[in-house]
Chain A
């Protein structure tokens, strides 16, 4: 009987028409549970930080030096990126598409990373009450981080682009004329770019941006991934392309939710 009951609940959750019931339950539970979890974190975190600081003092010093070097490198990249941004803005304007700069964002702090061993998700401290809703893109650490898949009153769950369920439509190449999709392959695999014609004009390190195709699941122009390697197999119907996320997914303490909903 419990098995039948469990299967019925799963069916309710997976059915688009009744998903609202289970989603509502999760939302109520999150509203009750989040303050409790926050209180426990407030007590535990300083103790953990104290011991981590005491044990890893040398490593922290070395990390500080690395961070200082990274800041210098980022300043240089920022200066160079101005030119790329202006080019991208021009391309977007030519295609009559909105540029990301024009969209408002909600800055959120990451509460939890990978709550389950089976999904690549993060939980952020902003939810419906802050204007964050399901489907909104999340950016940070240099590019697209993921998309909101669950939104509760004061928290939301973001599926990272490396999750096996993630699929992002991208544009790349001269004038962003080529398209494809970037698919997550799970935590230990490199991401792939699919639906790219054989012998497409690709270069190693080339950036891919969200496209306005793919039923507009994302606003166009957000940097998604960089080409790592590519080759065309004999008789293959598409190019085999391996890519790496542009956003540094190990540095997700703060992210920005882009207030943009996919058209119905």
Chain B
């Protein structure tokens, strides 16, 4: 058996930044040249600090935030990091190995691993508010904590399928990467 099965985590980590605004801190992932994606509850508006994996801090600003889908897109001058690889979560099968990288409770670049639970809206009666339940989610059986918000959830090969956003009934919920793509496209048009 290979001693480092989660090898992909090493290079996904290079695409994960820390996003600070006021007293709060969350995670972010590199999207494109000088562009980072995070949660809207991590970066609300205006200026934010982005800490790169090498420890350098860049001043960035919120290009737009979508409160409903809880996604914010940041402009980060001189980001200088590769963008994440992406995979349509609709291709995922329940049981596939997934991992999350973020800064849970301030622990930088921590990985947690698990599997895909399901993709889509949550079942009726699931303990979350109805407007959140009906959204499409990448639902993962892995552990998240405050500070993971805005970070990536990736498949076994390191392709990002979602943005870690919340925990419901113990389940990790991520915004499907395809929903982020749609938001970015809509704003660019």
* A, B from the same assembly: no
Residues of A at the B interface (CB closer than 8 Å) are none
